[in-house]
Amino acid sequence: MVGLSGHVQARAQPALGTAMAGAVSLAIRTHLWISWARIALKHEAMAHAARQDMQQPGTDQSGLLEREADAGLVGICAAAFALEAISRELDELGMVPAATRAAWRKNRLSDDKQILELVKLAVDPTGLANVWKRELAWLYGVRGSSVHYRGTFEAPQLHPVGTNVAPSQITYSAENTTRAVDLLLGILERCRDKPKPPARKWSQEMRGAVNDLIGRRGRAG
């Protein structure tokens, strides 16, 4: 028996290299974007919990600012990782013409732009394409500078609680973590509700996972 969680699919397929007629083997696939999305949601809640605790008198402001930024760093990057993994699954649906893919390679299309193009091929983007373009560029800018970090000396910035902090503590704030998760869930909702024909089967299969993620955020709030 194989134990399967909500982000794992199993299917039977003909066994290869077996002498037994009709034998099958079990193939298992993990949809890792679901795990990354859960991590993003969890750390969004953690960032906001740290912010809320800052409002209490006598608290360790320095420690809570650190906790907020740590949670924000993980939450923002997790949202970016989830969207990249989603885009790779959408890419498997065969929607991208060979000439288009060749142009992407030739022009070295950035990750955020490739994700945007794949999502636009998979779902009806009416009214959202420009928002997605802006937000994906922001998210993958933060993701890239976080994963490939180069530290510099910069002037402090004013945090919403009224304390001057390092710029990174603004970048990884609770507000920006919510911005990243809003983008992730907004794209997932459109994948669920308005898929184009090539993505309809994938959308139906992932509907339960999307509903669970949206429900988790509601319960955390």
Could you count the other beta carbons within 10 Å of the beta carbon of residue 63?
12
Q: What is the pLDDT of residue 27?
A: 86
The DSSP annotation for 142-174 comes to: HHHHHHT--------EE-TTS-EE-HHHHHT-H
The DSSP annotation for 74-128 comes to: HHHHHHHHHHHHHHHHHHTT--S-HHHHHHHHHHT--HHHHHHHHHHHHB--TTT
Residue with tokens 């893919």: 101
Q: What is the pLDDT of residue 62?
A: 92
Could you count the other beta carbons within 10 Å of the beta carbon of residue 25?
12
Please write the tens of the pLDDT for every residue from 88-132.
999 999 999 999 999 999 999 999 999 999 999 999 999 999 999
DSSP, collapsed to helix, strand or coil, labels residue 10 as strand
Q: How far apart are CA 40 and CA 80, in angstroms?
A: 9
Task: Look up the pTM and report it.
Answer: 0.89
Q: What is the pLDDT of residue 2?
A: 44
DSSP code at position 221: -
Q: What is the pLDDT of residue 45?
A: 97
CB 182 within 8 A of CB 106: no
List the structure tokens of 43: 């750390």
Please write the tens of the pLDDT for every residue from 166-181.
999 999 999 999 999 9
Q: Which residues pair with 41 in a beta bridge?
A: none
Q: What residue ranges of the chain have pLDDT lower than 70?
A: 1-22, 218-221
